[in-house]
Amino acid sequence: MPFDPPADAEARRAVAPVICYPPDTLPAPDLALYLATRARAIKAAEILVPPREAACFSVPAGHFFRISSVEGPQVGDLNLWHASTLDERFYSGKTRALHGTHLTTGQRMWSSFPHLRPMATIVADTLDWYGKDRFGGSVHDVIGTRCDPYTGNLLAGGQYHHCCHSNLTRALADQTGMSLAEAEPYVHDVLNVFMCTGFTRDTGQYFMKASPVRPGDYLEFFAEIDLLGALSACPGGDCSTEHSSDAAPCYPLLIETFAPDATELNGWQSPALNRYDGSHGR
Ligand SMILES: [Zn+2]
């Protein structure tokens, strides 16, 4: 039974919102320095992530990595860890609180507590023209989680093994030598690269729609700390219909890394750990 609204219900609804985390106090990246450095950086490596699989990649602090669409429209699920301390991992929820529901150039992927520092900064986004569509959809979200076999089983039964969660788990296990059971807890909520998502205005439900990505589009990052990454080429393909099955057409994703000239990045330092003293008042 819904409760009756109070007499001043409309007045309470009319209160204007306040931005929780005004971005002007966030440490700002020196994008001009990054772009000048990137212009002279040299390609160091490339990895092709097969459809419905994931692959790991390493990027030292101060280097760049680019995720590109090749062959056909495809969404990717990205995890990041500190290269030597997997407990420091990407924190999707706090990144969303700091920057909003979708990321683009100049925004950052932040790490988990107690570290809370920038892991990577977006330096180029060929889909930045998309903005917000009339459904409230936008690209590169930090509102989704990652498709996984548990939710798939809950909703439809069955045993599907190529959801992004399982792909990322296998890739991390293969990269580190951990067992699947050891690796799985390190897999975390993702940056949904190229995915077009939002919340319906009337019911607030999470939606996806065909990604506007096309071969040649890319999202490029500057690594703020030494990174281990894993990228899954989602079984949803462009996520226009369904995921958690082999039904959607799927394509590879290309990861390239770029090394800066040794004389570049003057004045830049890898961000320090968060300075909260950790005492929690005791
Ligand atoms: Zn997925």
Between the CA of 90 and the centroid of ligand 1 the distance, in Å, is: 17
> Can you give the pLDDT at residue 27?
86
Query: Is 261 buried (19+), middle (13-18) or exposed (0-12) by CB count in 10 A?
Result: exposed
**Strand partners of residue 46:** 256
Residue 47 CA to residue 57 CA, distance in Å, equals 8
Q: How far is the CA of 234 from the centre of ligand 1 (A)?
A: 4
Q: What's the 232 CA to ligand 1 centre distance in angstroms? A: 7
Rg (CA), the chain: 20
Query: 80 exposed, middle or buried (CB, 10 Å; 0-12, 13-18, 19+)?
Result: buried
| 268 CA to centre of own chain | 24
Exposed/middle/buried for 267, CB within 10 Å: 0-12, 13-18, 19+? exposed
Q: What is the pLDDT of residues 225-251, one digit of tens each?
A: 999 999 999 999 988 887 777 888 999
Q: What is the pLDDT of residues 97-142, one digit of tens each?
A: 999 999 999 999 999 999 999 999 999 999 999 999 999 999 999 9
* pLDDT score for 172: 98
Is it the case that residue 145 has pLDDT exceeding 90? yes
Backbone torsions φ then ψ of 65, nearest 5 degrees: -140, 145
Taking the centre of ligand 1 as the mean of its atom positions, its distance from the CA of residue 155, in whole angstroms, is: 16
pLDDT in tens, 50-91: 999 999 999 999 999 999 999 999 999 999 999 999 999 999
Q: In the chain, pLDDT over 90 holds for what percent of residues? A: 89
Q: Which pLDDT score is estimated for 255? A: 98
Dihedral sign from CA coordinates of 216, 219, 222, 224: negative
Give the whole-number percent of the chain exceeding pLDDT 70: 100
Question: How remote is the CA of residue 41 from the centroid of ligand 1, in Å?
Answer: 31
Is 262 a residue whose pLDDT tops 90?
no
How many angstroms separate the alpha carbon of residue 135 from the centre of ligand 1? 22
Name the helix (H) or strand (E) containing 10.
helix 9-13
What's residue 147's pLDDT? 95
Residue entry with tokens 């993702």? 190
Whole-angstrom distance, CA of residue 147 vs CA of residue 250: 15
What's the mean pLDDT in 29-36? 95
Question: How much is the pTM?
Answer: 0.95
- The pLDDT of residue 44 is 98
pLDDT at residue 56, rounded to an integer: 98
- Tell me how far apart the alpha carbons of residues 12 and 193 are, in angstroms, rounded to a whole number: 37
pLDDT band at 24 (very low <50, low <70, confident <90, very high): confident
188 CA distance to ligand 1 middle (Å)? 12
233 CA from centroid of ligand 1 (Å): 7
Distance from the CA of 21 to the center of ligand 1, in angstroms? 29
On average, the pLDDT of the chain sits at: 95
> If you measure from the C-alpha of residue 69 to the centroid of ligand 1, how many angstroms do you get, rounded to a whole number?
15
Residue 30: pLDDT above 90?
Answer: yes
Residue 84 CA to ligand 1 centre (angstroms): 26
Using the mean position of ligand 1's atoms as its centre, give its distance from the Cα of residue 16 in Å: 36
